[in-house]
Amino acid sequence: MEPTSTYTLYNDQFELDPIAYGLTDAPAVTPDAEVPPPGFYVVQLTSAGLRLNRETKQPQYDSNQKRVFRINRIQITDPELFAGSHALFQDIYVYGRPQMNWSVKPAVPYTDRPPVFQVVKLLSSIDTNLVTGSIDDNCDELERLLPTKPMVAVKLSYESTDVTYAKALIAQGVDKNEAYKKSRLYTKHFRNTDGTYRQQTEGPSGLMIPARLKIDDFIPASRVSTLTLGPMKAK
CA-CA distances (angstroms) from residue 128 to 1, 105, 123, 132, 151? 31, 20, 7, 9, 13
Q: What's the pLDDT at 39?
A: 96
Nearest Cα to Cα of residue 35 among 226, 217, 228, 215: 215
Q: What's the pLDDT at 223?
A: 92
Digitized pLDDT (tens) for each residue of the chain, 235 residues in all = 333 444 344 444 444 444 333 444 434 435 577 899 999 999 999 999 998 887 888 888 887 788 889 999 999 999 999 999 999 888 888 763 333 344 444 444 444 445 567 888 899 999 999 988 888 898 999 999 999 999 999 999 999 999 999 999 999 999 999 999 999 999 999 999 999 999 999 999 999 999 999 999 999 999 999 999 999 876 6
Q: What's the pLDDT at 84?
A: 93
pTM: 0.78
User: How far is 166 from 219, CA to CA, in rounded Å?
Assistant: 33
Q: What's the pLDDT at 54?
A: 79
User: How far is 49 from 43, CA to CA, in rounded Å?
Assistant: 15
